[in-house]
């Protein structure tokens, strides 16, 4: 009987290691095993909460009487309740709503509260919190589930996970980010409280089993920020394992500076250049996170212009050159780019071997054009030097406390492809199932 139980526990992992044609024959369309194995689902051990990348969560809005639209069409939903503000970006173009979405999503800095808030008369919420279906790709690409962990979710469902039963989602407001100590973020205080309640709910629903927290890209940062704000005894009781898939590291990466200078590549509206979203992006605290740390990048020029170069020691001058508000600069610069390991069993997966911008070059000192690049190694987004510094420090902290830490390097895989191409997805799934079966003592 014990041998049978052990076999069933390892069966999902064994199936993932089979060549695609054979594994496809063993799985039916509904995710169960073939007829010879019966119709029952594979046994699922620990519930999983998914934290998506920054382009994936949705955002609803409600316009109150205090809202004064800059254009008549921007007030079309005023007084009509909640409506999707950030969801299918093609709809934004079809209804000529781009100026409105830029206005209604933009934040304003409140120096009295020392934090960011919505425009007057604009209320927002993140819909469907708790569901693994609560985040979607904003750019529709036919039937290809290429982004936002949609293929990963399907792979988890194929081995028996079910939405709101054993599989959950923790979407967040993409505009906000946890700030440094002493600088409040009401939005993230509320968000982390909801995540904690979700952990309790998922655990109680599954016979008080601890949870696996899984985050991709900015979602990985959200996982780490959440875990590191919880008491250690609580973590040991409720968190089985942390799985980080290409997380955005606190050691920083170059794309953050380029996004701020010339518009975001991380959020997209079809046919709208990055520059067209820059004013809105610069109002988001998200845009100010993960600046490349001078402790990692040193005096290396990160942004090169005709008149001067900017390194990790020159952010005051760089932000001033971009025209960023003095209040914002004061808020960003005190942030300490330090690494805090989660101090629970952790698996970290990342792509490498891809040309990744190491330096942005603006030949004419004009930030209104896209720069040329000097390339190094990484996953197309995260610089390898930052990745390795982050991994080294986390590994050291975990090992000093004898807590499991595993780093999985996947060659020739990009930041986005890691969660939907077949080869890396099989590796990711194998690590998730391994985390399920580990017997860690903390």
* Confidence at residue 182, expressed as pLDDT on a 0 to 100 scale: 59
**Helices in 107-217 by DSSP H: which ranges?**
150-158, 186-205
Q: Which residues pair with 285 in a beta bridge?
A: none
* Confidence at residue 12, expressed as pLDDT on a 0 to 100 scale: 52
Alpha carbon separation from 187 to 18, 106, 215, 264, 300 (Å, rounded): 44, 15, 19, 22, 35
* Confidence at residue 28, expressed as pLDDT on a 0 to 100 scale: 32
Say if CB 54 and CB 217 are below 8 A apart. Answer: yes
Catalytic machinery residues:
217, 379, 415
Find the mean pLDDT for residues 5-12: 53
* Confidence at residue 90, expressed as pLDDT on a 0 to 100 scale: 73
Check pLDDT > 80 for residue 140: no
Q: What is the pLDDT of residues 243-265, one digit of tens each?
A: 999 999 999 999 999 999 999 99
Q: What is the pLDDT of residues 317-341, one digit of tens each?
A: 999 999 987 667 666 665 556 889 9
* Confidence at residue 38, expressed as pLDDT on a 0 to 100 scale: 30
* Lowest-confidence segment of 1-5, 19-23, 251-255, 290-294 by average pLDDT: 19-23
Check pLDDT > 60 for residue 16: no
245/77 Cα distance (integer angstroms):
38
Smallest CA-to-CA distance from 390 within 221, 172, 170, 180 is with: 221
Confidence band for 18, pLDDT divided at 50, 70 and 90:
very low
* Confidence at residue 33, expressed as pLDDT on a 0 to 100 scale: 31
Q: What is the pLDDT of residues 103-139, one digit of tens each?
A: 999 999 888 888 889 999 999 999 999 999 999 887 7
Say if CB 115 and CB 186 are below 8 A apart. Answer: yes
* Confidence at residue 45, expressed as pLDDT on a 0 to 100 scale: 81
Alpha carbon separation from 260 to 128, 222, 257, 264, 326 (Å, rounded): 30, 20, 5, 7, 15
Q: What is the pLDDT of residues 162-176, one digit of tens each?
A: 999 999 999 999 999
DSSP line for 415-428:
TTGGGTSHHHHHHH
* Confidence at residue 415, expressed as pLDDT on a 0 to 100 scale: 97
Q: Give the SS3 label for residue 278.
A: helix
> 270 in the Ramachandran plot: left (φ > 0), alpha (ψ -120 to 50) or beta?
beta
Confidence band for 421, pLDDT divided at 50, 70 and 90:
very high
Q: Is the dihedral of CA 348, 349, 351, 353 positive or negative?
A: positive
Say if CB 370 and CB 314 are below 8 A apart. Answer: no
Check pLDDT > 70 for residue 43: no
Strand order in the sheet with 239-245: 167-169, 48-51, 211-216, 239-245, 346-352, 405-411
Q: What is the pLDDT of residues 351-400, one digit of tens each?
A: 999 999 999 999 999 999 999 999 999 999 999 999 999 999 999 999 99
173/192 Cα distance (integer angstroms):
12
177/227 Cα distance (integer angstroms):
15
SS3 of the chain: helix, strand, coil, percent, to 5: 35, 20, 45
DSSP line for 58-125:
-EEEEE-TT---SSGGGGTTTTS--EEEES-HHHHHHTT-HHHHHHHH-EEEETTTTEEEEPTTEEEE
Residue 178: CB partners within 8 Å, gap ≥ 6?
Answer: 185, 188, 225
Q: Regarding beta strands 115-118 and 309-310, do their DSSP bridges make them parallel or antiparallel, or are they unpaired? A: unpaired
CA 285 to chain centre: 14
Query: How many C-beta neighbours within 10 Å does residue 279 have?
Result: 12
Q: Regarding beta strands 83-86 and 303-305, do their DSSP bridges make them parallel or antiparallel, or are they unpaired? A: unpaired
Check pLDDT > 80 for residue 8: no
Top pLDDT among 44 and 212 is at 212
Q: Give the SS3 label for residue 168.
A: strand
Q: Give the SS3 label for residue 54.
A: coil
* Confidence at residue 146, expressed as pLDDT on a 0 to 100 scale: 67
Six token digits for residue 182 = 């002493």
Check pLDDT > 50 for residue 181: yes
């Amino acid at each position: 009987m014990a041998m049978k139980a052990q076999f069933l526990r390892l069966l999902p992992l064994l199936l993932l290691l089979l060549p695609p044609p054979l594994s496809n024959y063993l799985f039916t369309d509904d995710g169960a095993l073939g007829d010879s194995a019966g119709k029952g689902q594979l046994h699922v051990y620990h519930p999983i909460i998914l934290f998506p990348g920054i382009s994936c969560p949705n955002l609803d809005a409600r316009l109150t009487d205090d809202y004064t639209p800059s254009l008549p069409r921007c007030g079309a939903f005023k007084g009509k309740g909640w409506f999707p503000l950030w969801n299918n970006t093609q709809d934004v173009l079809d209804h000529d709503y781009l100026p409105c979405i830029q206005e209604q999503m933009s934040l304003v800095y409140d120096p009295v509260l020392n934090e960011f808030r919505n425009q007057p008369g604009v209320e927002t919420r993140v819909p469907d919190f708790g569901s693994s279906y609560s985040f979607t790709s904003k750019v529709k690409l036919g039937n290809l589930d290429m982004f936002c962990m949609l293929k990963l979710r399907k792979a988890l469902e194929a081995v028996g996970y079910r939405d709101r039963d054993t599989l959950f989602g923790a979407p967040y407001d993409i505009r906000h980010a946890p700030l440094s100590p002493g600088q409040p973020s009401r939005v993230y205080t509320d968000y982390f409280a909801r995540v904690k309640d979700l952990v309790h709910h998922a655990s109680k629903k599954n016979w008080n089993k601890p949870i696996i927290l899984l985050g991709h890209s900015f979602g990985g940062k959200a996982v780490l920020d959440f875990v590191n704000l919880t008491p250690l005894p609580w973590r040991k009781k409720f968190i089985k394992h942390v799985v980080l898939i290409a997380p955005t590291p606190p050691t920083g990466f170059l794309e953050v500076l380029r996004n701020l200078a010339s518009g975001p590549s991380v959020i997209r509206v079809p046919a709208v250049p990055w520059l067209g979203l820059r004013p809105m992006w610069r109002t988001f605290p998200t845009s100010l996170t993960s600046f490349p740390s001078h402790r990692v990048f040193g005096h290396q020029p990160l942004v090169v212009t005709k008149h001067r170069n900017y390194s990790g020691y020159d952010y005051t001058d760089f932000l001033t050159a971009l025209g960023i508000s003095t209040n914002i600069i004061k808020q960003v610069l005190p942030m300490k780019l330090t690494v805090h390991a989660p101090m629970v069993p952790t698996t970290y997966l990342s792509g490498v071997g891809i040309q990744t911008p190491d330096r942005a070059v603006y030949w004419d000192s004009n930030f209104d054009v896209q720069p040329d690049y000097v390339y190094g190694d990484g996953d197309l987004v995260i610089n390898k030097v930052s990745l390795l510094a982050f991994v080294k420090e986390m590994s050291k902290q975990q090992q000093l406390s004898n807590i499991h830490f595993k780093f999985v390097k996947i060659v020739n895989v990009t930041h986005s492809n890691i969660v939907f191409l077949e080869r890396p997805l099989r590796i990711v799934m194998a690590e998730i199932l391994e985390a399920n079966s580990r017997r860690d003592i903390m």
